Amino acid sequence: MKEKRFSRPWLDDVPLKRKFLLIYLLCVLLPIMSINLFFYYRTSADIQIREQENLRRSVERANGELMGMIDESVALSRSIAADDSLYEAIDRTYESPADYYVVYDEFLRDKLTRYMSANILDVRVYTENESIQNGSNYRVLQSGGKEPSWVHALEKSDSSIALAAYVDGEYKQGRRISIVGKMNVYPSYSTYAKYSRVDLDLGRVSSILNREKGSVKFRLVDERNRVVADGIGGRDGEGSFYGNPALTSEQKKSGFALERSLGAQNYVKGWKLVGIADTRYIDGLMGESLRSILALGIVSTILPSLLIFFIFRSYHARIAKLSRHMERVRSERFELIDIPEGKDEIGGLIRTFNLMTGRIRSLINDVYKLEIRQKNLELDRVRTELAMLQSQVNPHFLFNTLNAVLVVCTKNGYREITEIVKNLSLLMRQLLSRPDDMVPLEEELQFIRMYLEIEKFRFGDRFDYAFDIGPRATEFRIPRMSLQPLVENACKHGLQGRKEGRKIVISAHVGGEGLQLLVRDNGVGMNEIRLREANERMRLDHPPDGRSVGLRNVHRRLELFYRGDVRLLIRSREGEGTEAGFLIPAVWLTQGEHIPYPWEKEA
């Protein structure tokens, strides 16, 4: 049910090339383009928001610095207006210029210069007292004459202090921005009208307005909506006032132009600071962002495209070759795919295909070989039956001879010889009477026990043996004569060089891995060189010196019966003894039933 639910027959009919193309277009190219466009618009919006915030901060910072200059000048103007000694000296009527210059030298000369600072260009006091001489920081306003424009700005103000922008015609000094104030604090000194004028340093104003030149343009606008400073004029403020600096609706909507009131005080009422961001700088940032995103988009498109091309090439070339060889299988041409397979799923398919075709070819060859082998087996069976019939005569004569020796020994009371002859007779009968090559382990152990009794008669009290048999171990079957050669080898080579305390232990235990069989002796053992030579001779088909024949036979029989899953292992240490044995895996263990011969399994 699940296969029907999730199956897509129409998708299965699409060729592999088109599937990879769809994957590339829908899963790689389209997402990369969408992400790059998203990042571009997002970055553009962030740049605009950032520049608008920078513009706001720049306007506020410039506004704060200008107000600092103005407030400093206002404080100076109020300090001058509160100086009663200055009032008394200015309001006095002098009889002659000499009288004025005496007071000037003694008191008025340095009276105003102490108020000077880096933000102030000049400080002056104006009066209608004509007995004062024009010069330095003191000026006379001619009664009945034309009043200066800054006096008009002061008269229009609701306060005694005003910020005025004007063109100073006196000595043709050009534009001025000044703090002007009425000196009317002390009514007792009101004989003549008196005014203070503090001129701001236009060079300082220009430096404030030019501080962010290249990113923001500033304009200082007075109450008459005139641009009185924009950073273009020099220290002396050359040039004239100009223009209507009002912002257009497009500039206001763009967010890159900002207009702020200079302050809430009466003396700056109507004054504004206009800041216009330089769109060339913003356009440069936008262009740089666009170029970066385009470069990133190109790189992120080319690299995945090349990677997908090579991956697709790896898949498609092997799949195409696999498809061609499968077409040949239909024509009964079982050819192997001779290309680098790889370790992915396609490589697994190729390996499986090669394994399948190899087995098919092997099975085809085995059918013919099996027919020939079956014929050879029939011939061997007939020959074996003839040989058995012929060999039955000699064992019958041997058993009769042994029985005669046994009767004589029994009559004469030779008990030890009687047991030895009896065991020898049983050994010969067992060897010659059972054609089956798989015997129960218990029967193999009985055979070994009889053999060891003969060896014990040979060595006397200097020889002993023991069995360490685990539960259920005797229930399983093993190849016949697979343990006896190991025991014989231990007696012949291991114990011969030991004078006393000779002992052999035969152990059999069943564990999770299978049945483990070991023969241990406490003989002379072998060094590493002899042990390595014994292992090498054991695996040779025809040892050159005829040695290790018993071990080679056991090793070969284990390989034949268990198809190489069981190996004869030998461990030895010089002076401590030798251990030889093998482990039969659990999958090969049988209880009582017949284990087929290797050639029977192949058939």
Other beta carbons less than 10 A from residue 495's beta carbon: 23
For residue 581, what pLDDT is reported?
Answer: 93
Predicted confidence at residue 398, as pLDDT, reads 52
pLDDT digits (tens, 9 = 90+) for 485-513: 888 888 888 777 777 778 899 999 998 88
Tell me what pLDDT residue 234 has: 47
Tens digits of residue pLDDT in 530-582: 888 888 888 776 665 556 677 888 888 888 888 778 888 899 888 888 999 99
Compute the C-alpha angle 63/69/72, nearest 5°.
135
Specify the pLDDT at position 466. Answer: 92
Run of H or E residues at 91 = helix 84-91
pLDDT of residue 591: 56
Q: Which fold has domain 459-602?
A: Heat Shock Protein 90 (3.30.565)
Helix boundaries (H) for 104-165: 149-156
Would you state the pLDDT for residue 467?
93
What one-letter code names the amino acid at 554? V
> DSSP string covering 355-373, please?
HHHHHHHHHHHHHHHHHHH
Which residues lie below 8 Å from residue 555, measured CB to CB, with a gap of 6+?
538, 539, 567, 568
Does residue 568 contact residue 553 with C-beta atoms inside 8 Å? no
Domain boundaries, the chain: 15-332, 459-602
Averaged over successive runs of 10 residues, the pLDDT of the chain (603 residues) comes to 51 68 77 79 79 85 90 89 88 88 86 80 88 86 75 80 81 76 87 89 87 83 85 54 68 77 86 83 76 80 76 70 76 74 71 79 74 65 48 46 58 62 62 64 87 78 87 87 86 78 90 91 87 83 64 83 84 89 87 46 41
